[in-house]
Amino acid sequence: MKISIISISAIAMLMMYSCGNNKTQQLEKVEISIEKDTYKPGEKDALIVLKAYADKDLETLKSYAGFAHSNALDEDYFTTNSGVSSFREKIATWNGSFDKIRYKKEEINFQVVYNMVAVFYENPENEQLAAIGLRTLDSA
């Protein structure tokens, strides 16, 4: 049983590294416009988070992250995590609008939680999607 768990986790790690293509190119600052006349609920916050990833703005990311995740955000976050560099590459090729936005309302421990997932990257060749997900406890 132990061997199968180790081999499954080794395969999962291999897949994670292969998805990022291990590219170490420097990304230029991405111009993301946050000025629009109207926004769908959560859309402006999603734009701000994507811009923070593109600009390596840890303070903004920490302000949007939950407690556990904000503690993991340090100065090495962008260099040690291959998934983040792959995510930033997708942001760099982004056209500036969300392909799909999905909302879900659920109740957790007698508290209403609102979830939003905004897809900003879609590769039809390998059916790969990239999205930003946000969660809030209020309806705004």
In what order do the strands lie in the sheet containing 111-123? 100-108, 111-123, 128-136
Contact 88, 53 (CB under 8 A): yes
Which pLDDT tens digit goes with each residue over 80-116? 888 898 899 999 988 888 989 999 999 988 889 999 9
For residues 34-43, give the mean pLDDT: 80
Instruction: Write the class of the CATH domain 31-136.
Output: alpha beta
For residues 72-85, give the mean pLDDT: 87
Please tell me the pTM assigned to this model.
0.69
Q: What share of the chain is helix, strand, coil (3-state, %, to 5)?
A: 40, 20, 35
pLDDT computed for residue 56 by the predictor:
92
Q: What is the mean pLDDT of the chain?
A: 77
Confidence tier at 140 by pLDDT (50, 70, 90): low
pLDDT computed for residue 53 by the predictor:
92
